[in-house]
Amino acid sequence: MKVLIVESNEELGTLWERHLTREGFAVQRAADADSAVDLVAKGSFAVVILDLNLESGSPLAVADYVSYRQPSARIVFVTRRSFFTDGSIFSLSPSACAYLPAHTPPEDLTAIIEHYGQAS
């Protein structure tokens, strides 16, 4: 299953990438919105892990592009903040399937990706 990680925090992105790769996922990574859009334009992904706190570019623009180019892809939003804790993120992105804190253990993130990736 192909997964795109869009995460500006190098350490966190590397942690997730290594764990998912060990679990058998084909993982690509982007550190900003422009790189993520380029990868989505060139390939297809079952699941996109998208940091809502990107240092460069708009994560919601990336989510819109994913929804347009790959409507079956599921988006797992992650954040280090409490913004959107009311669930409003699900009304902003039709492909959103989960909203998680960035400190979610990699094992739990993997289980969520497996679940939603099979449904895509």
Q: List b or e across 18-34, with b for residues whose CB sees 16 or more CB atoms inside 10 angstroms.
A: ebbeebebebbbbbbbe
Domain holding 108, by residue range, is 2-119
| One-character DSSP codes across 69-86 | H-TT-EEEEEESS-TTTT
Question: For position 104, which CATH number holds?
Answer: 3.40.50.2300
How many domains are contained in the chain? Answer: 1
Phi, psi of 87 (to 5 degrees): 85, 5
Mean pLDDT of the residues in the chain: 87
Report pLDDT for 88.
54
Contact (CB, 8 A) for 109 and 49 = yes
Phi, psi of 28 (to 5 degrees): -125, 155
pLDDT of 74-112, one tens digit each? 999 898 765 545 555 555 666 666 778 888 889 998 998
pTM of the model: 0.86
